[in-house]
Amino acid sequence: MLTTEKRPLTILMGAPRGFCAGVVRAIEIVELALERYGAPVYVRHEIVHNRYVVEDLERKGAIFVEELDELPEGDRPVIFSAHGVPKSVPEAAQDRNLFFLDATCPLVSKVHMEAERHFERGLEILLIGHTGHPEVIGTMGQLPKGAITLVETVEQAEIFEPQNPEKLAYITQTTLSVDDTKDVIAVLRRRFPQIVGPHKADICYATTNRQEVVKEMAPRCDMLLVVGAPNSSNSQRLVEVAKKSGCERSMLVQRAADISWNMVEGIETLGITAGASAPEILVQEVVSAFRQRFDVQVEVIETRKESVSFKLPRELRQAAAQ
């Protein structure tokens, strides 16, 4: 006689998880621009790194482009993504008399301002980050070419030779692994004791908090899933942190359809969290998929509360109030 009894599974849900304040603000900017100015509204680059979010905004009337020269002539608004852009981008928009809204996360803008202050003081600047990431491109593009040197690893930090060891500063990408970045900074501080760093860490609160809860969860998990996009830096870092924290079977999934069910055989405790650009609806979709196959008991692992919010651009505050 066949049995339909479901095997028990404990799911540990990380909290906080998912959208950060910068992502919420960026999505709201696109939605309010569509309400106020009508479709289409153009967005340079993915507003945040998540296809579900991008496709939802496309259905509402947003058109995503990689460069401004893809925009047709006219008076339609263009929005810059949450990752930030080089200074050349708003300059090019002004040259074309384009109306633009900047959805750069305020914590990324903080790093941009730090870079400018260091440059004004005559300091050589190191940026700890990942080659090719839009945030890194945007940050390096705040200053003349050559003013910022990218350092990705401890090994690169060990061999870097500054022009003047006494006139050196560092900044970081906001979505890095906290522990890996600490290691790079430790090398720089050992080699260059006078190096100037940020008054407050550049890695953003949401990145830090999500990594913290993963460290708490991972030792208890047989498997840990991070809901997020492959091009999302903070999501990829969560997978790395989970593996280093004791859960080798950790992986990224964009949504429930990506789950490889033969890989979950034998697990008794599953961890689930989400990167800062992944919507909660996709997390619940994953949980529902497990409920269909297992007798699920959910336990929330919460390491801290989040209450951060960021102001909208002045042009859209009135629309938000209405």
Contact of 123 with 169, CB cutoff 8 Å = yes
Structural contact between residues 279 and 27, judged by C-beta atoms closer than 8 angstroms: no
Q: Contact, 125 vs 148, CB < 8 A? A: yes
Residues making up the chain, counted from first to last: 322
CA 62 to chain centroid: 21
Edge to edge, the sheet with strand 148-151 lists: 148-151, 124-128, 168-172
Burial of 154-183, coded b for 16+ CB within 10 Å and e otherwise, reads eeebeebebeeeebbbbbbbbbbbeebbee
Give the closest residue to 264 by CA, choosing from 237, 244, 227, 289: 289
Q: Which residue has the tokens 């690893």?
A: 153
- Contacting residues for 254 by C-beta, under 8 A, at least 6 apart: 51, 52, 227, 228, 229, 230, 282
Residues 6+ apart with CB under 8 A from 90: 80, 100, 102
* From 135, 240, 248, 299, active-site residue: 135
CA 169 from chain centre, in angstroms, equals 24
Q: How far apart are the C-alpha atoms of 281 and 297, rounded to whole Å?
A: 19
73 flagged as catalytic: no
Nearest to 290 by CA among 4, 97, 10, 1: 10
φ, ψ dihedrals at 65, nearest 5°: -130, 160
Compute how many other C-beta atoms are within 10 angstroms of the C-beta atom of residue 44: 22
Residues recognised as catalytic? 135
